[in-house]
Amino acid sequence: MTFVVTEPCIKCKYTDCVGVCPVACFKEGANMLVIDPDECIDCGVCVDECPVTAIYPEEELPDKYKSYTELNAKLSQNWPTIDEPKDPLADAEEFKDVESKLEMLDENAG
Contact flags string 33-72 toward ligand F3S, x per CB under 6 A: x---------------xx-x-xx-----------------
- Residue 58's binding partner, choosing from ligand SF4, ligand F3S, none, with beta-carbon cut-off 5 to 8 A by kind? none
19 by DSSP, 3-state: which? helix
Residue from 12, 25, 33, 82 that binds ligand SF4 (CB under 6 A)? Answer: 25
Rounded CA gap, 53 and 81, in Å?
A: 21
Residues in CB range of 73: below 8 A, 6 or more apart: 37
CA triplet 31, 104, 44: central angle to 5 degrees? 50
Rounded CA gap, 95 and 83, in Å?
A: 24
Touching ligand SF4, residues 31-50 (CB under 6 A): 35, 40-46
**Residue ranges binding ligand SF4 (CB under 6 A):** 3, 20-21, 23, 25, 35, 40-46
**Residue ranges binding ligand F3S (CB under 6 A):** 5, 9, 12-17, 33, 49-50, 52, 54-55
